[in-house]
Structure 1
């Protein structure tokens, strides 16, 4: 770090910062975190730059850098990178994360030694941050297994299990913009850390003073850091390939890793099992943390825009399917041609329903499905999967909070031998027991097998989705969100959650709200009275689920509301259902539901804006 020469003392700097709080240029929380960095010896190397920022009165930047101690959310610690700050990803917060993980593991286990696995994706600084994390874990006495090259998140989860590790860490910010990075912490199961471990780790992070560290190259020479690569990755791909359920391979398509690591996992698995008609979309294959050839440089396969470059090529080459994985290749997006020859982007709910139906049908056909087998989904994932699962004669477990770590936890609690499939609406899919996190590779394998089988019957994934709607009812789901950045945004999210709880909307568009299930207070309240009608015991989390009915329509709608655990957003999930008595009625049902939901979404956003203006 370039060391400026500030002309003020730490006392003068704190006086300036305190005055900025009084003038509402700096939040109180930012001041408290800033004070630690200005006065405590473990932050000495950052203090000249910090004093200079205060002298320059860069309080807007300082609030961004310090408004919180970046927490462990649903996907670990993730956020904006900067050279310093408690609220951002930087060398210190990465070192603190690794230290917190090691210190908590040793305290919890009573052991002074152990084993850890570390991997990183292709993001800016991912390699550097991974080396820092490894150096800290090794200094704590753990033997570290370190992937030499960029790898996917499921490969890290696999490595933790395969190598018998006690903990693991993945350096990634998933599908976030180039400005971001993060630290995902894993436990010995191969799943991301869960309560109480997550809070235990963050407590150790906050207590961190001087952090032990060893030289990375020296540790490699001494064997405390052991380099791994294809020896483990090859075993991972073999385990994914073992979950093939079909020999159908005639399919023409494109795969894009969106400048991430998906070619090492998704594409190689597809090639290994014989999908020779799936080709790489070369303009987005280079591993590059700036994501230069992805529209808006936002590599999120949930966005329609990311597929446009690949669609242009696919339309010229006759491809029938487009697959996209996010930068750390744990999520998979799918586009497929409709009957008119246009590419349609499937949602995670639609892909999850298709894959659940596929594997349940295959296991039923070979006689391996029993009533004890189960499918797992989160509370914001489509009810269509529950209907499909029950129809197949298997169990559905769908009362989980948002986060794939809860699906992993359920696998181990219920017994992995009866686990069929786990999925969440944000493009996450998993089968088998080889890892405990979502995996784009297994999603791609099954999506291609199903598409190839349907092609041989003259059908597409969209045709089969319509067949599921006729059998189980039409389901329309989606998500909208409002971005609220920094300390001010955090307060806006808090205000919105309070408003939804205390003075919830009575009507939006054609929808009238009838009840709300509050997962924080563990109660069901009748609306519009907002009085308690019933209580329940779990799961507990900051989520609200509203139920509504449409006037003069058989349509029923649910609305889920929750703050994001990994992004500065409040998210709104909607789920609409309507029975379909016959195939000929489906088009009309779709059109009616879509019109109702579009009106509802506009009314929802108007209510949000009005609530923020009046609060």
Structure 2
């Protein structure tokens, strides 16, 4: 190859790749995207490296890099980092994302100028990618307000609103592994982009050829890029602290940012409001995108494993609560000590229920709650929050697709002044009007206040949870997922969704399915016939919700299924509930329900494996 002319190099490379498709070594979609990158001038700087991979027949790597054009999912563009490729996060795809956002904004607004805010977390390459996004947006005539140091996602949302920006961008991959990064796009509301803006941006991204840019330092000198940091951050922290509902501060706790940016928001807010006995877990405080002291290097506070190092210290120090934020500090997880001195990891649903109950009770006590007020949750979040909200005589809006951007949209549609609380099961929580994305800081503030108040009564968060179960019924929720990577994995996810939609299992474990709500086709279908019995109008998305009954048990169970919008996974959410009358029955019900769900989960994973084998 190397002795031929460049055009011959490219032609021969294309033919080799085409043969690889025929031999099932490269997917058709990867070949299409690879051919574009090999033949169009905007990708010229990447082409020698691509030729080398083809020459070395590294088709597995090429398929990983090119099997798709990385999409805007529920959390923007997110994925594996590489030096190049349409399916990965790299300098080109970051530049495309910033370009698409800027071009679409100017077209939608009919403007040649505007304002953008940009922030980044502590991940590998986050600063480099943030600078690329800033120079592209500045080249398009937008004045860019750039956080000088790593900051949380809610601080970016706050900055968009506080500075009157038209758009914003956050460089992060949330709780993904160290290999990943991403680009979250925000609109002038401070919320992540929604229809029709998301599709408009995507169209501009896909049409991008040559992308304008400017030198970062020169743009700073010319005032095209303006640094922001402590002044805006201080306003943000004060806005969070303003939502304090208690003066109780006697609480011994540990907080870990999991090597992310949570110290800039969560920890500083807790210190500002007076939680002086909540200390940092130092081994996980250094901002480091490799997440070296997090088990498996996976900084997801939904994983019980991430708390183990902190639990060891907490037991020695007498801590009563452990808090953990993910790398961009928009999610917040909790471990609470039980009466036996063991730390129990609370699910996002349990934390959401506790916080909803806390704020509603506080608002009732101070007379600032009316029937016009409302709580918002997604369709895969616990029904317990709806029960708590109805008991408090406020509206519950719980028919939203997964993604906090839909909660933000609801806030603006229904009126932010009547908004009390928004939550989703994946550790996302928000109150107030200061931003339009989930925020670990407000969740940590309320969790600590609630824990401190309960401590003064001789109770724990776990005790309060049991009280809620006795009042509203026992609720057991959780999630399992199947990871399916790359082009082959994408096909597997499609196969599973097709099987669940067309030929769903009649029984899993001791549960028999009786009904499915298909949010893509907007219809209810009776099972096992799988025939439509009713239609509905919204929300529409690729989600299935099954209803099941247990044999000889009063337990009712729902199973939600959806492909993840941010990770190569298909997710399964289960919701079990039943009425309990006293503490003795509650203890017995917990044991029985957990046994039923354990059997159900095992049967579900067997069904998944069998379906993929026979598809």
| TM above 0.5 | yes
Which residue pairs with 2:261 in the alignment? Answer: 261
Which residue pairs with 2:468 in the alignment? Answer: 468
Which residue pairs with 1:423 in the alignment? Answer: 423
Pairing of 1:225-304 with structure 2 (within 5 A) = 225-304=225-304
1:508-563 deviations in Å (ceiling 9; x for gaps): 11100000000000000000000000000000000000000101110000000000
**Pair 1:384-2:384 in alignment:** yes
CA distance in structure 2 between the aligned counterparts of 1:7 and 1:35, rounded to whole angstroms: 13
Deviation at 1:199, TM superposition (A): 1.3
1:302-342 deviations in Å (ceiling 9; x for gaps): 00000000000000000000000000000000001001000
1:8/1:51 contact within 8 Å kept: no
CA distance in structure 1 between the aligned counterparts of 2:256 and 2:34, rounded to whole angstroms: 42
Which residue pairs with 2:477 in the alignment? Answer: 477
Which residue pairs with 2:218 in the alignment? Answer: 218
Deviation at 1:407, TM superposition (A): 0.2
**Pair 1:109-2:102 in alignment:** no
1:212-258 deviations in Å (ceiling 9; x for gaps): 00000000000010000001000000000000000000000000000
Pairing of 1:140-159 with structure 2 (within 5 A) = 140-159=140-159
1:381-431 deviations in Å (ceiling 9; x for gaps): 000000000000000000000000000000000000000000000000000
Using a 3 Å threshold, how does the CA distance of structure 1 residues 170 and 430 change in structure 2: closer, same or farther?
Answer: same
Which residue pairs with 1:362 in the alignment? Answer: 362
- State the secondary structure of the residue aligned to 1:570: strand
Deviation at 1:583, TM superposition (A): 2.3
- State the secondary structure of the residue aligned to 2:175: coil
1:8/1:55 contact within 8 Å kept: no
RMSD: 0.9
Pairing of 1:580-595 with structure 2 (within 5 A) = 580-595=580-595
Deviation at 1:6, TM superposition (A): 9.1
1:21/1:27 contact within 8 Å kept: yes
CA distance in structure 2 between the aligned counterparts of 1:566 and 1:76, rounded to whole angstroms: 8
CA distance in structure 1 between the aligned counterparts of 2:368 and 2:210, rounded to whole angstroms: 55
Q: Higher mean Cα deviation, 465-474 or 100-109?
A: 100-109
Which residue pairs with 2:209 in the alignment? Answer: 209
- State the secondary structure of the residue aligned to 2:420: strand
CA distance in structure 1 between the aligned counterparts of 2:195 and 2:498, rounded to whole angstroms: 24
Pairing of 1:361-510 with structure 2 (within 5 A) = 361-510=361-510
TM-score (norm 1): 0.99
CA distance in structure 1 between the aligned counterparts of 2:295 and 2:462, rounded to whole angstroms: 25
Deviation at 1:584, TM superposition (A): 2.2
Which residue pairs with 2:306 in the alignment? Answer: 306
Using a 3 Å threshold, how does the CA distance of structure 1 residues 456 and 8 change in structure 2: closer, same or farther?
Answer: farther
Which residue pairs with 1:606 in the alignment? Answer: 606
Which residue pairs with 1:528 in the alignment? Answer: 528
- State the secondary structure of the residue aligned to 1:130: helix
Pairing of 1:72-221 with structure 2 (within 5 A) = 72-221=72-221
Deviation at 1:7, TM superposition (A): 11
1:6/1:52 contact within 8 Å kept: no
**Pair 1:58-2:48 in alignment:** no
The number of equivalent residue pairs is 611
CA distance in structure 1 between the aligned counterparts of 2:318 and 2:206, rounded to whole angstroms: 55
CA distance in structure 1 between the aligned counterparts of 2:361 and 2:253, rounded to whole angstroms: 24
TM-score (norm 2): 0.99
1:451-476 deviations in Å (ceiling 9; x for gaps): 00000000000000000000000000
1:6/1:55 contact within 8 Å kept: no
Using a 3 Å threshold, how does the CA distance of structure 1 residues 463 and 497 change in structure 2: closer, same or farther?
Answer: same
- State the secondary structure of the residue aligned to 2:214: coil
CA distance in structure 2 between the aligned counterparts of 1:469 and 1:7, rounded to whole angstroms: 70
Which residue pairs with 1:338 in the alignment? Answer: 338
CA distance in structure 2 between the aligned counterparts of 1:275 and 1:253, rounded to whole angstroms: 9
Deviation at 1:284, TM superposition (A): 0.3
Listed as ranges, the gaps of 5+ residues in structure 2 are: none
1:240/1:441 contact within 8 Å kept: yes
**Structure 1 residue runs of 4+, over 4 Å off?**
5-8
- State the secondary structure of the residue aligned to 1:9: helix
CA distance in structure 2 between the aligned counterparts of 1:436 and 1:505, rounded to whole angstroms: 39
